[in-house]
Amino acid sequence: MLYLALFVVLVIGLLWLFQIVLLDDFYRYFKTQMVSSSGDILAQNMDNPDLDALANQLSNRNSICVLILDADQQPLISCEASISCVLHKANAQTLAFFCQQADEENAPHLRLFTLEHPRNDRYAIDRFSGRVPPKEIGAQTSLLYTQKVTLADGSARYLLLNAVITPLDATVSTLRSQLLLITVLVLLLALALAAIISRHVSRPIIETNQAAKALARGRYEKPANGDHYREISELNDTLVKAAEELSQVEHLQQELIANISHDLRTPLTMIGGYAEVMRDIPGENSPENMQIIIDETSRLSSLVTELLDFSKLQAGTLKMEPCVFSLTQAVSAILGRYNKLKEQEGYQILFEPSEDCCVYADEGRIGQVLYNLINNALTYTGEDKTVTVTQSVTDGQVRIAIHDSGKGIPAEELPLIWNRYYRAKENHKRAIQGSGLGLSIVRSILEAHGAPYGVDSREGDGTTFWFTLPRRERENG
């Protein structure tokens, strides 16, 4: 509102400056240019037999008095456009003086002089009633243009032009009254328009601001007037989406806390129970009981490590240390660590690579990716308890795909599986379930490597997670 009001004031100020203050200066400048231009035109056409027609046209059009004299200073062409013309009131001696100036200058000469009005001693303001004009009404300024022109036959002509610069007091007074009225009207209209526009613009912003404060409470309702402007509408849509995501993240965080609490409580209970039994009952200090305590401790360590890694990845403090290593051998080594699980639970993990492929990446972090994807596949595989790992090479890219034979992922859940804290709504097998951070960690590590990744799933046909890395030849030595 303030900016619009200031802009209107600036425009009106410029109008006052040019129409009132500088009007007389502009008038003098353009009048001078007009006289000078008319003189140049007449001088260029001095040999033309129809010069008198041109002189009359310029005189009538521009209110200029024209007088052209021969070499003996006798009038040849005379055009009078003003009763105050200096040229037509001048005597022979004055005309001779003007011609002498033209001879001395030898170039067009334009000068200004003031014509004083005759005094009127009978006029006195106190003798009349009403708003009578002041006694002194000012003087007129006259423009005199002189130039000596030499014709083709060598004869000379004197070109004299005269124009009167009439005082603009009446014009300025009229413009001042008009501008004063325009100023008042425009200011009132500008203030009213500014108030309407500012209220119309600010109302949806105020509503959006008030609604955005509800984000602190985890909800956001789109304002009723939020669609008046495209940018505000987009902002409201963004805030609605942010509220939905914050609500979802809060819900997933609560699930994560519940899941981790459950996953931590079970091994802690078992460790505590077996430790008490070994302490209180003679002969229970057996290798089998010790192995249970070791296994449960490893499970706790794995959960804590996963949480720490996720925190570092989110903060961007986990540095990658890439090197060239055999991805094929890395997959085989990791799968070998699941032998106990395969023996005890009857799982099958199939991996039959056709060749040995090397890549350039952080071997430890890629191993973590493989662990998480394989654990995820074992968690959700079908009744046949089979997980298939395949390796393929296309256009210099090594592609690893882990496929399970489970129920698949519903289409509405596919966009969510990479989110932090997310877990599919399905009962897990405790031996291989995680914290819900596994796929989020996978995503962060692969994005840090700039590696493409994705998931393909259809309900009833299992799920396939995959990623690719550029193939590299093993360095010598």
Higher pLDDT, 477 or 101: 101
Neighbouring C-beta atoms of residue 38, cutoff 10 Å: 23
Higher pLDDT, 132 or 455: 455
Contacts of 171 (CB under 8 A, 6+ apart): 23
Total number of residues shown for the chain: 477
* DSSP conformational letter for 384: T
What percent of the chain stands above pLDDT 90?
Answer: 21
CA distances (Å), origin 233, targets 220, 226, 230, 373: 14, 5, 5, 40
Q: Which of 415, 408, 350 is nearest to 381 (CA)?
A: 408
Per-residue pLDDT, 428 = 43
pLDDT at 329 over 90: yes
Q: Which of 419, 411, 409 is nearest to 247 (CA)?
A: 419
132 CA to centre of own chain: 63
Name the band, by pLDDT with cuts 50, 70 and 90, for residue 389: very high
* DSSP conformational letter for 18: I
Higher pLDDT, 254 or 143: 143
Domains of the chain: 2-117+138-167 (3.30.450.20), 319-470 (3.30.565.10)
Instruction: Report which residue type is found at 402.
Output: I
CA distances (Å), origin 13, targets 19, 23, 137, 186, 369: 10, 14, 28, 12, 71
Provide the 3-class DSSP secondary structure of residue 405: coil
CA distances (Å), origin 332, targets 302, 337, 359, 429: 21, 9, 15, 24
Per-residue pLDDT, 37 = 92
Q: Which of 368, 360, 334 is nearest to 439 (CA)?
A: 368
Rounded distance between C-alpha atoms, residue 427 and residue 262, angstroms? 13
Higher pLDDT, 267 or 90: 90
pLDDT at 243 over 90: no
Contacts of 385 (CB under 8 A, 6+ apart): 345, 346, 347, 348
Output phi, psi for 314, to 5 deg.
Answer: -65, -35
DSSP character string of 48-60: -TTHHHHHHHHHH
Q: Which has the minimum average pLDDT: 119-128, 141-150, 463-472?
A: 119-128
Output phi, psi for 135, to 5 deg.
Answer: -70, -45
Rounded distance between C-alpha atoms, residue 439 and residue 372, angstroms? 7
Whether the CB-CB separation of 382 and 407 falls below 8 Å is answered with yes
Per-residue pLDDT, 432 = 46
Per-residue pLDDT, 158 = 92
Top-ranked range on mean pLDDT: pick from 84-93, 220-229, 436-445: 84-93
**Maximum CA pair distance of the chain?**
152
End-to-end CA gap in the chain: 75
Per-residue pLDDT, 117 = 53
Per-residue pLDDT, 430 = 40
Rounded distance between C-alpha atoms, residue 81 and residue 84, angstroms? 9
Contacts of 396 (CB under 8 A, 6+ apart): 470, 471
Bridge-based pairing state of the strands 348-351 and 386-394: parallel
pLDDT at 297 over 80: yes
Q: Which has the minimum average pLDDT: 40-49, 187-196, 372-381, 463-472?
A: 187-196
Per-residue pLDDT, 41 = 93
Give the burial class of 291: count Cβ atoms within 10 A of its Cβ; 0-12 exposed, 13-18 middle, 19 or more buried. Answer: exposed
Residue with tokens 């994005």: 447
Rounded distance between C-alpha atoms, residue 212 and residue 118, angstroms? 80
DSSP character string of 276-328: HHHHHSTT---HHHHHHHHHHHHHHHHHHHHHHHHHHHHHT------EEEEHH
Residue with tokens 């914290």: 435
Top-ranked range on mean pLDDT: pick from 168-182, 191-205, 275-289, 400-414: 400-414
Name the band, by pLDDT with cuts 50, 70 and 90, for residue 401: very high
**Two tokens, residue 404:** 């399970």
Q: Which has the minimum average pLDDT: 120-124, 309-313, 398-402?
A: 120-124
